[in-house]
Structure 1
């Protein structure tokens, strides 16, 4: 993901936690904050150390980023924070993708109808 698509600062994470809406399924929690000044979505990923060592956490983050690369043009301009839950550590990339699509459909952040 390019830098313009990332949320990295703690201040931005905290603002989204306090002012955003949350949607969840068993594997992921998504915080959504609508902002008018954005041209595209921004993504922040949080994976706790409770989920595993660095190898496991980075595999989860890569799977999440891959899903957003696939749907880059389909997501409305919002700030998204994705928090991985315990079941996400045993999922493949394709399972992560379907779970993320499910929770993002619930959050209504897609421009178009996704199959």
Structure 2
């Protein structure tokens, strides 16, 4: 995922938390906010220290980035999204993380048909 498509600044995270909508399953929480003037999707990832050490947290973030990379063409554009990983992602493999992400995006109608 290119750096232009990432949310890094704390103010941007807080803006999405405050003004966006949220949806969750057991593994992930998604906050999303539509931005009509933006022509691409931007994603911020958050994996708390309670989930594990740096190696575990970085692996989960890598899985989420790769899942978004594979879903890039089918996710609605003009959105800012923040994805928060929950404890069960610690034991999940890539395909399980991707399946959980697709489930959330599908439920919130953020996938193109």
Q: Which runs of 4+ in 1 moved over 4 A?
A: none
2:94 and 2:104 mapped to 1: Cα distance? 15
1:64 and 1:97 mapped to 2: Cα distance? 7
| Aligned residue-pair number | 112
The residue correspondences of 1:34-49 to structure 2 (distance < 5 A) are 34-49=34-49
Specify every segment of 5 or more residues in structure 1 that has no aligned partner in the other structure, as ranges. Answer: none
Residue 4 of structure 1: CA displacement? 1.4
Residue 55 of structure 1: CA displacement? 0.3
- Equivalent residue number for residue 83 of structure 2: 82
Question: Helix, strand or coil for the counterpart of 1:26?
Answer: coil
- Equivalent residue number for residue 12 of structure 2: 12
Specify every segment of 5 or more residues in structure 2 that has no aligned partner in the other structure, as ranges. Answer: none
RMSD (Å), alpha carbons: 0.6
The residue correspondences of 1:1-115 to structure 2 (distance < 5 A) are 1-77=1-77, 78-112=79-113
- TM-score norm. by structure 1 comes to 0.95
